[in-house]
Structure 1
Amino acid sequence: MTADDVLAIFRTVLETEDIAAADDFFDLGGDSLLATRVLSALARATGEELTMDDFLMAPTPELLAARIGGVVVP
């Protein structure tokens, strides 16, 4: 999954197109309930289940895409 794929999910969940790959989900107004929608969409798309801790450690489309790809984000 690419950062653009994750970005599309962010845009759908947050209902705005004004998001870039380096934007923090929570700075954009996302909350824990919306984050679970993102995690569910990612699980459906990839078959990989991320945790809320994963999301908190990687709250941008580019960081989440890297985490899905197996890159550990510090």
Structure 2
Amino acid sequence: MREISQMWREYLNGREVGADDDFFALGGNSLTGIKIIDRVARDYGVQLSVRDFYLAQTPARVAGLIEQGRAGT
């Protein structure tokens, strides 16, 4: 999960990102979301849908989606 927070930080202009911080409250937008989704696919081999990413909204929940994707569930 820490890796996901750091990834978000890279795309959100270096803002501090905690496990339960909301993507949109941090200034995230659709373009940034797509970039993060692409990075997750590249780094973790998990394809998140835009919908799932936006509904997850926090690094902790996105990390959970990645774990589910890696487990094949």
* TM-score, with structure 1 as normaliser: 0.86
CA RMSD of aligned residues (A): 1.3
Q: Distance in 1 between matches of 2:17 and 2:67?
A: 21
Deviation of the 1:5 alpha carbon: 1.1
Task: Identify which range, 16-25 or 30-39, moves more after superposition.
Answer: 16-25
* Structure with greater proportional helix content: 2
Residue number in structure 1 paired with 2:63: 65
CA spacing shift, 1:29–1:17, aligned 2, 3 Å: closer
**Consecutive unaligned residues in structure 1, runs of 5 or more:** none
Task: Identify which range, 15-24 or 56-65, moves more after superposition.
Answer: 15-24
Q: Work out the percentage of aligned pairs sharing the same amino acid.
A: 33
Counting matched residue pairs gives 69
Q: 2:36 aligns with which of 35, 38, 57?
A: 38
Q: Runs of 4 or more off by more than 6 Å in structure 1?
A: none
Deviation of the 1:65 alpha carbon: 0.3
Q: Distance in 2 between matches of 1:67 and 1:57?
A: 11
Residue number in structure 1 paired with 2:49: 51
Higher RCO (CA < 8 A, seq sep 6+) = 1
